[in-house]
A = this chain, B = another copy of it.
Amino acid sequence: MATTKKNVAEDTSGDGYLTHIAYDSVVFGFSGEKLKILLMEYHNTGFFALPGGFVMQEENLNDAVRRGLKERTGLDNIYLEQCYVFGDVSRFKPEVMKTILYANGHNVPDNHWLLGRFITIAYYALINYEHVKPTPDALSDSCTWYDVDDLPALMLDHKDIVTKALQTLQANLDRKLVGMNLLPARFTMKALQQVYEAILGEPIRRTTFQRKMLSLGILKRHGKHFSGSANKAPYLYSFKK
């Protein structure tokens, strides 16, 4: 299909954004069985990428990331943490951005700010999978959940970013009890264990897990969850504030 390319005016100032600074978000969700992340596919390129963006001149960095997540997920008040800044020269590949812009009908000059070198500030977000309507942005065909252990090839160093985010999530699992953000308000002990197993990537003994969780004093027990045979109904729990 022939496309008319718009010639964007030469601009090294950033169109109201801070030059050289990007962010990328690794948005984790838990389907009930699998740990998943959100990926976008750029129009006509075959490039899969983490949802990311840029920071406006008058905008706090963390607010820019929340704005991007809100646009892609519809959610406010997402659990969000900085993870790592990727700042190597080797990630500077202007031809990748040029391909994306070209495939979207933008023909930009070589000194355009979008073709400059970027550091990216990686964040990880934890969201309740059921509450999300993933929404593609203007440059993307899709914004979809993928299993963490079965991702397509990702653009630039985005695979490294996912790996770092997962390591950070694992390290924070006990210390910050981040698992709670992946579950509904009330959950069974089995669901909690499944979240831990999905994040750690390995099975955990049920009795050991249950004893440890109860010993932490962070769970509040509610009524039973009746969904099948009554005498097997498991208790529901919530996290204490």
Contacts and interface: CB of A to CB of B under 8 A. Distances in A.
A174 to B, nearest CB: 10
A185 interface: no
A18 interface: yes
A19 B90 CA distance: 18
- Among A58, A87, A175, max chain B CB count under 10 A is at A87
A21 B60 contact: no
Contacts of A230: none
Interface in A99-136: 117, 119, 121
User: Would you call the interface of chain A mostly helix, strand, loop, or mixed?
Assistant: mixed
A153 interface: no
Nearest to A175: B171
Contacts of A8: none
Contacts of A2: none
A116 to B, nearest CB: 8
Contacts of A19: 19-20
A88 interface: yes
Interface string A170-185: 0100010000000000
A75 B50 CA distance: 37
Contacts of A18: 20, 117, 119
Given A13-B12, A18-B20, A19-B19, A57 B87 contact: no
A85 interface: yes
Given A12-B13, A20-B18, A171-B175, A60 B89 contact: yes
15 contacts: A12-B12, A18-B20, A18-B117, A18-B119, A20-B20, A21-B21, A55-B119, A57-B117, A58-B89, A61-B85, A61-B87, A61-B88, A61-B119, A82-B85, A87-B121
